[in-house]
Amino acid sequence: MRTALYPGTFDPITNGHLDLIERALRLFDRLIVVVGTAREKDPMFNVGERIELIDAAVRELDGVEVTSFEGLLVDAVRRAGAVAIIRGLREVSDFEYEFQMALMNRRLAPEIETVFLMPNERYTYLDSTIVKEVALLGGNVEGLVPVAVFAALKQRSGRA
């Protein structure tokens, strides 16, 4: 069984993230979505809430697990017995950062591969920060996030 980890903040998970999860499942038997603590980002949802929202979004997908991690990603990959890290590339500006991270991870753990996936073009502009900002300002993010996330954003923004 080939396992990959898909790390991220997922604050919150978007339909772009789900698209990458589905693409990764075509390549791997098991995908572990690992939620980083992201203390430096001042997240809207705590780690437990983010895990619950992701669980709700992937409930119908076989082969997906959700957990959290702290520390070096390569250590989490090794603990899980995984062979790869999944990373999304939406635009050219993502590439420089992701390339640096992939090279550092390769230096730390040469046995672990980084697999870059591009989302469907309808999600290339989508990121969690923009979704949160639009939701907090009263904009409609329906169709950009899973149903449970849409409800949570409405509640958190006071627009329920």
Give every CB contact of residue 36 below 8 A, 6+ residues apart in sequence: 7, 8, 9, 68, 69, 70
Return the domain boundaries, the chain.
Answer: 3-156
Q: Catalytic residue, from 23, 68, 78, 90: name it.
A: 90
For residue 14, give the 3-state DSSP assignment.
Answer: coil
DSSP secondary structure string, 38-91? -GGG--SS-HHHHHHHHHHHHTT-TTEEEEEE-S-HHHHHHHHT--EEEEE--S
17 is catalytic: yes
41 is catalytic: yes
pLDDT band at 49 (very low <50, low <70, confident <90, very high): very high
pLDDT for residue 90: 86
Query: What's the pLDDT score for residue 65?
Result: 97
Distances (CA, A) of 3 to 31, 80, 86: 6, 8, 10
How far apart (Å, rounded) are the C-alpha atoms in residues 116 and 85?
Answer: 8
Q: Which of 17, 30, 50, 132 is catalytic?
A: 17
Closest residue by Cα to residue 16 from 103, 90, 97: 90
- Over residues 85-108, the pLDDT tens digits come to 999 998 877 888 999 999 999 999
pLDDT-based confidence at residue 38 (cuts at 50, 70, 90): low
Residue of 2, 41, 59, 159 marked active site: 41
At 159, is the pLDDT very low, low, confident or very high (cuts 50, 70, 90)?
A: low
pTM for the full predicted model? 0.93
CATH placement of domain 3-156:
3.40.50.620
pLDDT digits (tens, 9 = 90+) for 123-151: 888 889 999 999 999 899 999 999 999 99
* pLDDT(156) > 90: no
Q: Which of 30, 50, 87, 128 is catalytic?
A: 128
